[in-house]
Amino acid sequence: MKEKLQPFHIAILVYTTQAGIVVFTLPRQLADYFGTNGWLFLLVCYLLSAGNIGLIALVYKLGGGRPIFEILEQSLPKLILYPVYVSLASVWLMFGCMIGKKYILLFQMISFPTTNPMFFKLAVDVLIYLLLAKGIYTISKAATLFFWMTIWMSLLLLWFFPSFRWERLTPFLLQGGHDQIKGGIELYSAYLGYELSILFFPYIDKRKKAMLAIQLGNTLLTLNYLSLSLICFGFFSWGQLKKLIYPLLDLLAYIQLPFIERLENLLYGFFLFLILITVVMYWWAAEVTVMRIFPRIKKKGLTITLITVSYCISFIPKTLDEVVSWITNLGYVTIGIAFGLPIVLILVLLIQRQGRESRA
């Protein structure tokens, strides 16, 4: 029998998929778009994502744990579905690809600024291939390992306590921001990743706990984001935070130990683990979707093809700004998918149920 994902692993997998590149800019975006005490917006994001996960749980319940493709194919013709699958797969593939590229461009800002970024991208893609080739069960095991290798970094926030001042937070709630709708969508992409759990259905064992695990992963992520943002709002002044493009990098660079300085180069490397899982999961989702169109295709060949395609696409945007705008636009679509897909599935399931009842 195929091994199933345990709730603990699901929680970790969801958390590591969600934790990605946005964390570097998150506190600044909160301060910039939502103004004073912008970190409160994280709570809104949390409620929305928790609601979205609720929808996914509903799909699971109504569908009795059937894979989503089965549900769709039962009611909709393949002529309609296949283009949808192709679009889903391409969005997920490119989203993952751009996240990887952004990490590398950021990495290059700190070290190796003139080396061709595509060399690093290739190295990272090889790692991703190795993970992807092993399948979801091994990915979740690796995610658990990566989780323990990175979660300790939250303790580094203690370093900033002595310089933290509540006065800097100000008593003003969400004042002085701008473009809140655009900012809200951009910030919400920091939570993306949980929506892929809709593809976990065939791999889950225990019903209730699995959905709870997804919620727990999302909650852990929120707590992490909240603590980071709160520290940023009290450590930096509001005006300063708005000017720091990557506040997390500045935080890391501020840590000095008696025997070593400029730790950020080292610490930044640890984030690769989180990014790897994020990218791997998006590509895995793309792969699973394409597999549905070509069920007889060799998995290995498909993996290599997908990675090659995405590698070629990642040549297109050259600068950080270009990558950011790709991510933003793809983020809009991914958010649409995150909410749209479960809603469509619920509608299909309800129609199917009605059909069954009327037949009975």
Partner 1 sequence: MRRMLAIVVVICLLAGCESDERILEQMALVQTSAYDLLENNKIRVLSSIPVIEPDSDVQRQLLTAENDSIKEARLIFSRETDLTVVSGQMRNTLFGISIAKAGLARYIDTLLRDPSIALGVKVTVVNGGAGELLSKNYKSHLDTGRYIDHLLEKEASVNSIPKATLYEFSRDYNDDGVDPVAPMVKDAGEKATIDGIALFNKDRYVMRIPARNGLIFALMKNNLKQGEIALNMGEVEGRKLVVMFSSLLSKRKVKVHHLEGERFSADIHVNVRGSILEYTGQEDLTDTDQRKKLEEDIAAHVTARAEKMIQDMQRNKVDSLGIGQYVRNSLSYKRWKATEWKDVYPRVKINCRVKVKIKDYGKYI
Where on the chain is the footprint of partner 1 (CB under 8 A)? 36, 109-116, 119, 122-123, 126, 167-168, 170-172, 175-176, 236-240, 242-243, 249-250, 253-254, 256, 261-262, 264
**Within the chain, what is the greatest distance between any pair of CA atoms?**
76
Q: Which is nearer to partner 1, 314 or 334 (CB)?
A: 314
Q: How many CA atoms lie within 13 A of 138 on its CB side?
A: 10
Task: Give the DSSP per-residue string, 297-347.
Answer: S-HHHHHHHHHHHHHHHTTS--SHHHHHHHHHHHHHHHHHHHHHHHHHHHH
Q: Supply the minimum distance, in Å, between the C-beta of residue 66 and partner 1.
A: 39
Q: Which is nearer to partner 1, 170 or 328 (CB)?
A: 170
Q: Supply the minimum distance, in Å, between the C-beta of residue 78 and partner 1.
A: 38
Task: Please return the burial class of 51, using the count of CB atoms within 10 Å of its CB with bins 0-12, 13-18 and 19+.
Answer: exposed
Q: Supply the minimum distance, in Å, between the C-beta of residue 255 and partner 1.
A: 9
Q: Supply the minimum distance, in Å, between the C-beta of residue 303 and partner 1.
A: 16
Q: How many CA atoms lie within 13 A of 307 on its CB side?
A: 23
Tokens of 127: 């790692």
Q: Supply the minimum distance, in Å, between the C-beta of residue 231 and partner 1.
A: 13
Q: Which is nearer to partner 1, 17 or 36 (CB)?
A: 36
Sign of the Cα pseudo-torsion (196, 198, 199, 202, in order): positive
Helix (H, G, I), strand (E, B) or coil at 246: coil
Q: Supply the minimum distance, in Å, between the C-beta of residue 119 and partner 1.
A: 4
Q: Supply the minimum distance, in Å, between the C-beta of residue 240 and partner 1.
A: 4
Q: Which is nearer to partner 1, 171 or 295 (CB)?
A: 171
Do the beta carbons of residue 220 and residue 226 sit within 8 Å? no
Tokens of 184: 């809200």
Q: Which is nearer to partner 1, 116 or 354 (CB)?
A: 116
Q: Supply the minimum distance, in Å, between the C-beta of residue 18 and partner 1.
A: 26
Task: Please return the burial class of 241, using the count of CB atoms within 10 Å of its CB with bins 0-12, 13-18 and 19+.
Answer: buried
Compute the distance between CA of residue 252 and CA of residue 159 in angstroms, rounded to an integer: 10
Q: Which is nearer to partner 1, 166 or 294 (CB)?
A: 166
Q: Which is nearer to partner 1, 1 or 260 (CB)?
A: 260
Compute the distance between CA of residue 270 and CA of residue 255 in angstroms, rounded to an integer: 15
Residue 260's DSSP bridge partners are 257
Do the beta carbons of residue 142 and residue 131 sit within 8 Å? yes
Do the beta carbons of residue 36 and residue 173 sit within 8 Å? yes
Q: Which is nearer to partner 1, 250 or 287 (CB)?
A: 250
Q: Which is nearer to partner 1, 77 or 113 (CB)?
A: 113
Q: Which residues contact 15 (CB under 8 A, 6 or more apart)?
A: 147, 217, 218, 220, 221
Q: Supply the minimum distance, in Å, between the C-beta of residue 264 and partner 1.
A: 8
Q: Supply the minimum distance, in Å, between the C-beta of residue 195 and partner 1.
A: 33
Compute the distance between CA of residue 34 and CA of residue 70 in angstroms, rounded to an integer: 42
Q: Which is nearer to partner 1, 108 or 138 (CB)?
A: 108
